[in-house]
Amino acid sequence: MNVIHFKITEAARMAGVSASTLRLWEQQGLIEPIRTRSGQRLYDGTLVERLKTISWLRSEKGLNPAAIKQALTLDNMADRRAGMPVVEDREASDLPIGMKLRQLRKKAGLTLETVARSTGTTLSILSTFERTSQGISLTALHNVAQYLGTTIAALSGQGKSRQGASLVRDGEWTTWPTTASGVTIRVLAEGNNQMECHRFDLAPGASSEGAYQHEGEEFIHVLTGGLEIILDGDQFHELRSGDSFYFDSSRWHSWRNNFDGQTTLIWINTPSTF
């Protein structure tokens, strides 16, 4: 298969910068273009993607060359970590959620920079989550999962074959991996069902840390405490113990526990898109 190469002016245009900027980045050690025998600079698809990432880190995140260089090495550092190939060879169902996400990203041929830029997630947070399954907000994880064509429920092992019937005893819930401070999610119905039924336990101040949307419909019932849910950025709804709320999941929604103690919810999504 022939690899397409771009001249410096073409690559610069694709990255949204000037040719002189690419020469500067080369001097700073951020990029190493392919050189012909005559010394002409060429850029393949991978290098162009790297240029776009550098441009994004510089313009959107305001990083200096040293910080950009550090950010660009995160993915390679993760690949070189001892034991990583062994983990990759394990069955997907045995992998921690962060490793599952990494496996999907690698299978799609995407870099950490690409996924971070496309989902608005901090590159360092995404890298840390892939290695430790910790430190990411629920909203960020949802956006990354959606970008990679999956759901948080599936990553958490809820995407198993349909049960037909599911009995979950009090206190014997499967708990999702902790992704954000103060948010605990427990599975109330096992299996790949049309409805995703969860119990949310929210510490005071715990929130979605941003708005998100997806296909489907949602139902919330507050068992204890209180919840503020915001639709479309400007519609505020205050829920208290005993209140119920239904809404279309395609609307941008965010939420937080605005109660001075723990809030416990029954939260149902249908179909399984969360």
pLDDT at 245: 98
Do 16 and 89 lie in one domain? The reply is no
Residues 263 and 210 in one domain: yes
- The CATH number that applies at residue 35 is 1.10.1660.10
In a domain, residue 87? The reply is: yes
Neighbours of 5 (CB within 10 A): 18
Q: Is residue 166 included in any domain, yes or no?
A: no
Q: Residue 76 above 60 pLDDT?
A: no
Residue entry with tokens 């660009």: 72
Q: How confident is the model at residue 90 (pLDDT cuts 50, 70, 90)?
A: very low
**Boundary-marking domain end, from 38, 62, 86:** 62
N- to C-terminal Cα separation, the chain: 39
φ/ψ (deg, to 5) at 220: -125, 135
H or E, element range at 244: strand 244-248
Q: Given pLDDT bands bounded at 50, 70 and 90, which one contains residue 238? A: very high
Nearest to 146 by CA among 53, 249, 56: 249
Q: Using 50, 70 and 90 to split pLDDT, how confident is the model at 111?
A: confident
DSSP letter at 176 equals P
**Taking phi first (over 0 means left), then psi (-120 to 50 degrees means alpha), and beta for anything else, what does residue 219 get?**
beta
Position 268 scores a pLDDT of 95
**pLDDT of res. 2:** 55
Q: Summarize the confidence of residues 158-163 as an average pLDDT.
A: 56
**Does 164 score more than 80 pLDDT?**
no
Residue 183 lies in a domain: yes
Q: pLDDT category, 159, cuts 50, 70, 90?
A: low
What is the count of structural domains for the chain? Answer: 3
Query: From start to end of 30-76, where are the E strands?
Result: 34-35, 41-43
Range of the domain at 236: 174-270
pTM of the model: 0.61
Give the residue among 88, 66, 69, 71 at the shortest CA–CA distance from 79. 88
Q: Check pLDDT > 70 for residue 94.
A: no
Asked whether the predicted pLDDT for residue 33 surpasses 50, the reply is yes
Is the pLDDT reported for residue 87 higher than 50?
no
Residues 58 and 137 in one domain: no
Average pLDDT over residues 221-241: 96
Neighbours of 172 (CB within 10 A): 8
Q: Read off the DSSP letter of residue 207.
A: B
* Polymer length of the chain: 274
Best mean pLDDT range from 64-78, 94-108, 234-248:
234-248
CATH of the domain at 217: 2.60.120.10
Cα–Cα dist 214/208, whole Å: 14
Whether 190 and 168 have beta carbons less than 8 Å apart is answered as yes
- Please report, rounded to a whole number, the percentage of residues in the chain having pLDDT higher than 90: 35
Q: What is the mean pLDDT of residues 25-54?
A: 88
14-26 per-position pLDDT tens digit: 888 999 999 999 9
Same domain, 58 and 79: no
Nearest by Cα to 210 from 130, 118, 101, 121: 121
